[in-house]
Structure 1
Amino acid sequence: MSSVPSGRPLAIVVVGASGDLAVRKIFPALFALDARGTLPPETRFFGFARSTLSDEAFRGRLAPGLRCEELPGSVCGQRQRAFLPRCRYVPGAYDRPVDLARLRREVAAACGPAADVLYYFAIPPALFGPVAQSMRGAGILRADDDGTGWDRVVIEKPFGRDRASSDALSAVLKGCFREEQIYRIDHYLGKEVIQNLLVLRFANTVFEPVWNRDHIRHVHLCWSEDIPLAGRAGYFDTTGIIRDVMQNHLTQMLALVAMECPWGLDARHIRDEKVRLLRQVVPLTRDRCLLGQYTAGTRQGQAVAGYREEPGVPATSRTATYASAVFEVRSPRWRGVPFHVSAAKGAATRCTEIRIHFKAPDHDLFRPLLARGDRDGAPLRDNELVIRVQPDAQILLRVVGKRPGPGFTLDTPALDLSYREAYAGARIGDAYENLLLDVVRGDRSLFIRDDELEAAWDLFTPLLHAIDAGNDEPHPYPFGSGGPEAR
């Protein structure tokens, strides 16, 4: 695939355009790209869904979410007025090839038959297969980019419920598209600090020589949210925290932290190393995982219902809203280093971060002072690298140093790189903006390849089957707490 614009007209089709994901995330990201001039001039945008909407009604739904914070209000208004007339809505059924053929005719009429077309599946996973088969049945997919335009399709996680269902979905998709046309998106890979992981590791002499079992005690990857599930509870109850967060977001973070240096920065080399790493990770079993479920608690002083009291959740649900596990990586670099992974809904804070805990120095020079603690007697930490993804992108390195004043009193200050401060004035793009632009450019580095997806599911499928077949009650924890006490 080319990594540069083709010079042809571009059409972006959002399938499921009347849904929350499309209105809240996809179209605002497309507008931001268009407003900055990073898409081809006069790119056209199409929404396709079952709802009956006029073009004007569709544009009315999109307008409130179109923001450009870095531009004056008058300029932003001009960009909105330039964007919205290029948004069209085509109603139709997802499983009717005749409706998909009509959509393609609308695209060709607006952009020409040789336009490049990006299809974004903002629909439930159960519809991925039917829509793909309808597209094939309608005969609207071009076999290759031979100068007559390309077709690319973006699909959102979850990609199945286990290895078998994921393989079945992949077989359907690859019966309709070539693997090179499929862009499996995990929006976490579009976040700037996640993209910075390879640079941080392999472009800095200070880290790469100590990024191994000789110098690192353990690694912790954690994800938490502090808001109720609200309208998503019914969907979440069929999914659970492991399928919703751990098998995708946290597994991708694990791969980037632990993989070996790729031969190059092209998509194939980066993804080859991620797959190689994932195949060295020992699959999880039930005894290596703790599950929890939040009960009633508080958020910002307000009472919050327990998970089982959420609308759409059965009163006897055993779906986990919390999970923690320990991964073992059987590679020369990481043998013996535990990778702790945790994810929680209904937590005390919203936070996603990677913590690299380094070992203490081998010599004894400062050991008595370290044992004494800081000036308040609190224990001193070993060196720790914290890579914070959210709420604010930040990299902190905790080091041991001497506090100012007489004698030797040690402390562990943090060297702090805040993206907001370090890159003041620079616009840090939304993850969806970054990834959508990569699809247009044909850069597949941050998208998940089929064998990578297989390797990720292999890590969790035995655990998920054991959980689904068992009768274990998840450990309760109050909403707004740090998780189950059993941990």
Structure 2
Amino acid sequence: MAETIIANPKAANTGAVSLPAGSIIVVLGASGDLAKKKTYPALFGLYRYGLMPKDIKIVGYARTKMSEEDYHKRISQYIKLPNETVETQLKEFIAMCTYVSGQYDQDEGFQSLTAHMKEIEGSKKECHRLFYMALPPNVFTTVAQHIKRNCYPESGSARIIIEKPFGHDLASSRELQASLQPIWTEDEIFRIDHYLGKEMVKNILILRFGNEFFGASWNKNHISSVQITFKEKFGTEGRGGYFDQFGIIRDVMQNHLLQVLTMIAMERPVSFSAEDIRDEKVRVLKAMPIIDPKNVVIGQYDKSPDGTKPAYTDDDTVPKGSRCPTFAAIVLHINNDRWDGVPFILKAGKALDSAKVEVRVQFKDVTSGIFKDIPRNELVIRIQPDESVYLKMNTKMPGLTTKTSVTELDLTYNRRFSDLKIPEAYEALILDAINGDHSNFVRDDELDASWKIFTPLLHYLDENTDIVPAPYPYGSRGPAFLDDFLASYGYAREGVGMYQWPVTHANGNL
């Protein structure tokens, strides 16, 4: 079947302004891994499906000195080419891309970048530029200042995309914001959290507010708990030195998983405009108290039982005796009328038994009487891999008894939408930035509120050297006492053994 992308080239926010024809996208850090593996493939995806503004140009900027031919080889090596037509499109895309080399802390390089852009723009009266900072956070402020001083158009507009991490605690986040805001306005800044670009995360608002049967039961009266899980099968694999600076809580939970939580818990926005959506997310965050260390489990992966997989501290890049958590389970609460008393469980870890990201909404037990030990209903939103939504429900087993069986109402995307391509998260978010739509980007007060929730816990763990993460075997579900911890907050796994999730084969058949 013909491949089609699920995307709307028009901005969803009616107040947003799209970049006009002839605009320039500048990729700063163009020689780095993020640019090669994510940014350029996403830009090519948008070009391939005709979602770029007409006559747009892409300029790479980095410290690496290289010829344009070498630059083109670098940016094309991670772009997949399923057929000859796409190969032709790639050649066209490459022809749009040029490169400028320069330092990140010197005006001269940015002045050369501006001269190059002016050469591309010619005699245009208004120039429009989008700067994508695919850079490490230690140079965010320096580069942002040099761009504003040297590369901001005299007439027209500029936008800047900033990658996470946005600081490592509340103080550093505020310091970063304070350094940006005098030179860049909030409507010019796009703080990118790629989880907000994932198809199933964007679908949460439609599932919740576009279906009355969910809306009626989406509260403390019907829901027992909400669990948001992030699992990776691999460890740090030689990148432990980088990971050790952050740990699993900073790396995944304070940003990605908390963003998903706000989408699950927020009230209905008055519209789909960016500010109405982000207002509701901020209200949820402000209703959440700081995390009590008693509601936290941390772990660090050890060797696999057969000894073939190393422990976290076996990684030569990891500091000796590191207490960095590679696993955490955290219970948060929301003090409002809808969610009072409902535990929201964030769970994330590396070197676990499977790779997946999902939301599991567990409903309360049915009234006892005619039923005994019947499993709870669960709504599961699988974010990755194999995007799906399924509702686990009880039904009568066929036959001459009233025995129940757990089954599912199943929406698996690769079966239901087999002729459609789900866009990559970075494709969706870069398109939003081109369209000027902030809906799926993090606002400054949202960032501030999220760090307020997590910072006391992070400082507590950093400062108390007697707190050591519980070891768990590489390839396991996590620390041995995890199930007891979750059960203490009312989460039930009693239906797990009697439920078999259908396996989807490569051809889409069961």
TM range (shorter): over 0.9
Do 1:400 and 1:412's aligned partners in 2 also have CA atoms closer than 8 Å? yes
Deviation string, structure 1 residues 166-216 (Cα, Å, up to 9, x no partner): 000001111221111000000000011000001000110110000000000
How far has the Cα of 1:402 moved from its partner?
Answer: 0.5
The aligned residue for residue 474 of structure 1 is: 469
Within the candidate set 99, 105, 117, 2:115 is matched to 105
- Corresponding position: 1:84 with 2:78: no
Query: C-alpha displacement at 1:4, in angstroms?
Result: 5.1
CA distance in 1: counterparts of 2:375 and 2:27, whole angstroms: 49
Question: What is the Cα deviation at residue 111 of structure 1?
Answer: 2.9
In 2, the alpha carbon distance for the partners of 1:136 and 1:76 equals 36
Query: 1:124 aligns to what?
Result: 136
Aligned identity (percent) is 40
Task: For 1:306-385, list aligned pairs within 5 A.
Answer: 306-362=311-367, 364=369, 366-368=370-372, 371=373, 380-385=374-379
| Matching residue of 2:152 | 141
Give the whole-Å Cα distance in 1 for the aligned partners of 2:460 and 2:105.
35
Alignment partner of 1:428 out of 412, 422, 436:
422
8 Å CA contact 1:224–1:345 kept in 2: the answer is: yes
Distance in 2 between residues matched to 1:407 and 1:286, nearest whole Å = 48
Q: CA deviation at 1:285?
A: 2.5
Instruction: Letter of the 1:417 partner, please give it.
Output: L
For residues 229 and 76 of structure 1, what CA distance do their matches in structure 2 show?
34
Structure 2 residue identity aligned to 1:434:
A
Query: Deviation of residue 98 (structure 1)?
Result: 2.1
Give the SS at the match of 1:273. helix
**For the Cα contact (< 8 Å) 2:22–2:121, is it kept in 1?**
yes
Q: Which residue identity lines up with residue 268 of structure 2 in the other structure?
A: C
Counterpart in 1 of 2:188? 181
- Among residues 297, 304, 313, which one is paired with 2:309 in the alignment? 304
* Aligned-pair CA distance for 1:302: 8.4
Paired amino acid for 2:94: L
Change (3 A) 1:136 1:116: closer
What CA distance in whole angstroms lies between the structure 2 residues aligned with 1:479 and 1:181?
43
Of 234, 239, 260 in structure 2, the residue corresponding to residue 232 of structure 1 is 239
In the alignment, residue 392 of structure 2 is paired with which amino acid? R
Match of 2:73 among 60, 64, 75: 60
Q: Cα deviation per residue 1:134-179 (whole Å; 9 max; x = unaligned)?
A: 22332x2248xxxx43211111111001001000000111122111
Provide closer, same or farther for how the CA distance between residues 88 and 142 of structure 1 changes in structure 2, counting only shifts above 3 A.
closer
Contact 2:19–2:436, Cα closer than 8 Å, also in 1: no
Task: Decide which of 9, 15, 18 is 2:31's aligned counterpart.
Answer: 18
Displacement, 1:89?
A: 1.2
> What amino acid sits opposite 1:195 in the alignment?
K
1:46 equivalenced with 2:46 (yes/no): no
Per-residue displacement from partner, 1:105-131 (whole Å, max 9, x unpaired)?
A: 211211345332111111111110111
The counterpart of 2:179, out of the listed 162, 172, 176, is: 172
Opposite residue 444 of structure 1, the aligned amino acid is H
Q: 1:48, CA displacement in angstroms?
A: 0.7
How many equivalent pairs are there? 466
Secondary structure of 1:206's counterpart equals: helix
Inter-partner Cα distance in structure 2 for 1:135 and 1:332: 46
| Normalised TM-score (structure 1) | 0.93
2:163 is the alignment partner of 1:156: yes
**In the alignment, is the contact (CA less than 8 A) between 2:163 and 2:193 conserved in 1?**
yes
Unaligned runs of 5+ in 2: 1-12, 483-510
How far off is 1:3 after superposition?
Answer: 3.4
Q: Which runs of 5+ in 1 are unaligned?
A: 372-379
Deviation at 1:297, TM superposition (A): 1.5
The answer on whether the counterparts of 1:45 and 1:86 sit within 8 Å (CA) in structure 2 is yes
Q: Deviations over 1:61-120 (max 9, x none)?
A: 112212254xxx110110011011211111100011221121122112113453321111
Report the more deviating stretch, 38-47 or 60-69.
60-69
Question: Using the alignment, how far apart are the partners of 1:290 and 1:46 within structure 2?
Answer: 45
Contact 2:21–2:54 (CA under 8 A) maintained in structure 1: no
- Counterpart contact for 1:32–1:68, Cα < 8 Å: no
Name 2:391's counterpart in structure 1. Answer: 397
| Alignment partner, residue 490 of structure 2 | none
**How many angstroms does 1:381 deviate by?**
1.9
Q: Write the letter of the residue equivalent to 1:418.
A: T
2-structure distance, mates of 1:111, 1:307: 51
Give 2:267's aligned residue: 260
How far 1:486 sits from its partner (Å)? 2.9
Q: Which AA in structure 2 matches 1:416?
A: D
Output the CA distance in 2 between the equivalents of 1:231 and 1:89: 30
- How far apart in 1 are the matches of 2:379 and 2:251? 26
Give 1:192's match in structure 2, choosing from 166, 190, 199: 199
- What is the TM-score of this pair, normalised by structure 2? 0.89
* CA–CA distance in structure 1, aligned partners of residues 350 and 32 of structure 2: 23
Runs of at least 4 residues off by over 4 Å = none
Code of the residue aligned with 1:485 in structure 2: it is A
Native 8 Å contact 2:128 2:153 kept in 1:
no
> Is contact 2:21–2:55 with CA below 8 Å preserved after alignment?
no
Task: Give, as a single letter, the amino acid of the residue that structure 1 aligns with 2:291.
Answer: L
Match of 1:209 among 213, 216, 233: 216
Q: Return the letter of the residue paired with 1:367.
A: F
Deviation at residue 6 of structure 1 after TM alignment = 4.4
How far off its partner does 1:8 sit? 3.2
Q: 1:444-459 residue pairs with structure 2 within 5 A?
A: 444-459=438-453
Secondary structure of 2:239's counterpart equals helix
Residue 410 (1) aligns with residue 423 (2)? no
1:245 alignment partner in structure 2: 252
Q: CA deviation at 1:7?
A: 3.1
Q: Which residue of 2 aligns with 1:275?
A: 282
Query: Hey, what's the Cα distance between the residues in 1 that align with 2:300 and 2:327?
Result: 6
Name the CA distance, whole Å, in 1 between partners of 2:202 and 2:147. 33
